[in-house]
């Protein structure tokens, strides 16, 4: 898979690309991630990428030309262009699984007051990570890329993925490690006894209990309501 991210602030991605699981996935050749500063594509003598909005109003609006030209330069027949915007569909695990099947994702990170409306004409999808406002699309692009990359074969053990939260619309079950007792808090005995059928039943019950208590909306989604 290839992921290209268009941004005005490429340095924000240094830590994201050079630490932990994402770095290992890149080093293994499982995913290729490229960061493009679309200011480099500006034809303005001062590399300007934004301007005042027609009709007046606060803030600056990102111009068409640098973004169109940048996407034209990197887009292929396999590309899916994704605008990160509050107007988009809220990202979830189901979407992560769908996007991991794509060969080439292009994420467009906004900034300032937003995009010239005409930029939407070259986008295939519009995604949000929640009903709140951020300074730009850089953090959402990292969140979404992380969620997708970790699902690619060879990045994380398959068994670990199968038991994760949201895989079956349930939150994950509680986990414990040594010591067995810490500050009076003891690991449930069923996890110590070695009966794998009982452990499986216990974990499912805990998933259902936790989801009902903390995210009952997920159970409603499971029922198709």
User: What are 158-204's pLDDT values in tens digits?
Assistant: 767 766 656 678 898 999 999 999 999 999 999 999 999 999 999 99
Asked if the structure places residue 154 within a domain, the reply is no
Asked if the structure places residue 155 within a domain, the reply is no
Verify that 144 and 167 share a domain, yes or no.
no
Torsion sign, CA atoms 149, 93, 215, 131? positive
Backbone phi and psi for residue 49, each to the nearest 5 degrees, phi listed first: -125, 0
Helix (H, G, I), strand (E, B) or coil at 167: coil
**Of 149, 172, 193, which residue sits at a domain end?**
149
The Cα–Cα gap between 74 and 69 comes to 9
**4-27 pLDDT tens trace:** 999 999 999 999 999 999 999 999
The Cα–Cα gap between 1 and 100 comes to 8
Verify that 143 and 81 share a domain, yes or no.
yes
Q: Per the structure block, which two tokens stand in for 205?
A: 């019950």
Verify that 123 and 198 share a domain, yes or no.
no
Contact status, residue 61 vs residue 52, Cβ threshold 8 Å: yes
Note the pLDDT of residue 225: 43
Measured CA distances, 174 to 136, 156, 169, 187 (Å): 34, 20, 16, 10
Domain of residue 26 covers: 2-149
Asked if the structure places residue 157 within a domain, the reply is no
* pLDDT bucket at 155, cuts 50 / 70 / 90: very high
Asked if the structure places residue 158 within a domain, the reply is no
CATH number at residue 203: 1.10.1270.20
The Cα–Cα gap between 66 and 38 comes to 6
Verify that 43 and 103 share a domain, yes or no.
yes
Hunting for tokens 């070259």 — which residue is that? 122
Neighbours of 181 (CB within 10 A): 9
pTM of this structure:
0.86
Verify that 216 and 140 share a domain, yes or no.
no
Count of domains for the chain? 2
Verify that 121 and 50 share a domain, yes or no.
yes
Neighbours of 66 (CB within 10 A): 23
**92-105 pLDDT tens trace:** 999 999 999 999 99
Contact status, residue 107 vs residue 145, Cβ threshold 8 Å: yes
């Amino acid at each position: 898979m290839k992921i290209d991210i268009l941004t005005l602030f490429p340095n924000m991605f240094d830590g994201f690309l050079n630490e932990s699981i994402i770095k290992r996935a890149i080093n293994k050749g499982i995913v290729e991630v490229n960061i493009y500063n679309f200011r480099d594509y500006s034809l303005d003598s001062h590399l300007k990428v934004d301007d005042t909005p027609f009709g007046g109003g606060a803030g600056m609006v990102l111009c068409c030309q640098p973004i169109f030209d940048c996407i034209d330069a990197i887009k292929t027949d396999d590309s899916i262009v994704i605008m990160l915007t509050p107007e988009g569909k809220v990202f979830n695990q189901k979407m992560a699984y769908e996007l991991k099947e794509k060969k080439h994702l292009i994420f467009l990170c906004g900034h300032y007051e937003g995009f010239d409306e005409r930029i939407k004409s070259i986008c295939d999808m519009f995604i949000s990570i929640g009903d709140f406002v951020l300074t730009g699309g850089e953090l959402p692009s990292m969140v979404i890329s992380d969620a997708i990359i970790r699902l690619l074969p060879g990045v994380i053990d398959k068994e670990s993925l199968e038991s994760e939260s949201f895989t079956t619309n349930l939150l994950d079950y509680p986990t414990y490690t040594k010591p067995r007792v810490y500050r009076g808090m003891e690991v449930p005995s069923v996890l110590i006894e070695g009966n794998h059928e009982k452990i499986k039943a216990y974990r499912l019950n805990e998933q259902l209990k936790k989801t009902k208590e903390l995210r009952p909306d997920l159970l409603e989604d499971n029922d198709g309501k």
